[in-house]
Amino acid sequence: MMRSMIKALICYMGIMRLSNITVYARQSNNDDFSMWYWLQIEKKLRKKQFIEFQYQIRFNNNATYFNRSSFNFSYGKKIYPNLQIEGLYQFITNYKTDQHTFFLGLSYNKRIVRNVAFSYRSAVQHARNYFTEIERIDKPYIEWRNRVRLSYYVNNLFSVSASAEPYLKFSSKNNATLTRIRCVANTQYRFNKYQTFSVFYLVEPGLVFNKKQKTDYVSGIVYQFVIPNKFKSFKKILKPKPLKREHKSIDDDESSGIYL
């Protein structure tokens, strides 16, 4: 068990270092470090469907100042063995403003060698502050996101992954613009089939080249709870999952965390 934890930690630190190397945006006084705390509650439905509620709180200015809270409601369905459709509504609020985001994505997930999986997600999201039909107040825009992720499963309990996701932004004032690339390193521990803990490190350089160019550095913690389908299964939620060398259910791991 201890060896597996050490191996997962080493892999994670290596991915974090690699993600820093790939960030080519120049640092400036506008750069910031943030902390994100994420709670996810998932309910699996029949015919390989699921619904999920997510709550997230963010702190910026070197993780000392409340930035915003967000409430996510999502639905997903596996339409083919390796293909899944995802929909999400997100409500973001803070002291200054609100924002509504509507997200629709299609993801492909496939084991490529023994304990390694590849996933690709293409998604479109529409964001707006309000629904007044006054553009300067609503500030609507559309983003096309394309995420590529590689995951390595140390065993059936621990996994590490790295992903990159460029954002192409469309608005009435500007043509299609590549505004940012989100690079994420993540390590995950599955306590059992109902509880999962994740720690991630995210680097997001802004690509709008001007004097206010900004790079965000984010560290985050995610707790996910899957509601048992049967009442008698609740007694198993505190029972640890036994350690096995090989992970047998790689293709099922893309059902959570669809927005990050």
Confidence of residue 244 (pLDDT cuts 50, 70, 90): confident
Q: What pTM value is reported for the model?
A: 0.84
If we measure between CA atoms, which residue out of 219, 232, 164 comes closest to residue 21? 164
Which distant-in-sequence residues (6+ apart) come within 8 Å of 206 by Cβ?
Answer: 25, 179, 180, 213, 214, 215, 216
Among 7-21, 134-148, 160-174, the range scoring the smallest mean pLDDT is: 7-21
**Residues 91 and 100: beta-carbon distance below 8 Å:** yes
Confidence of residue 76 (pLDDT cuts 50, 70, 90): very high
Distance between CA 17 and CA 34 in Å, rounded? 18
Please classify residue 249 by burial: count the beta carbons closer than 10 Å to its beta carbon, then call 0-12 exposed, 13-18 middle and 19+ buried. exposed
pLDDT value at residue 114: 85
pLDDT value at residue 24: 41
pLDDT at 28 over 70: no
pLDDT at 147 over 90: yes
Confidence of residue 45 (pLDDT cuts 50, 70, 90): very high
The whole-chain average pLDDT of the chain stands at 85
Among 53-57, 139-143, 207-211, the range scoring the smallest mean pLDDT is: 207-211
**3-state SS assignment for residue 7:** helix
pLDDT at 237 over 70: yes
Q: Which domains does the chain have, with CATH numbers?
A: 2-255 (2.40.160.40)
Distance between CA 191 and CA 12 in Å, rounded? 18
Please classify residue 245 by burial: count the beta carbons closer than 10 Å to its beta carbon, then call 0-12 exposed, 13-18 middle and 19+ buried. exposed
Please classify residue 86 by burial: count the beta carbons closer than 10 Å to its beta carbon, then call 0-12 exposed, 13-18 middle and 19+ buried. buried
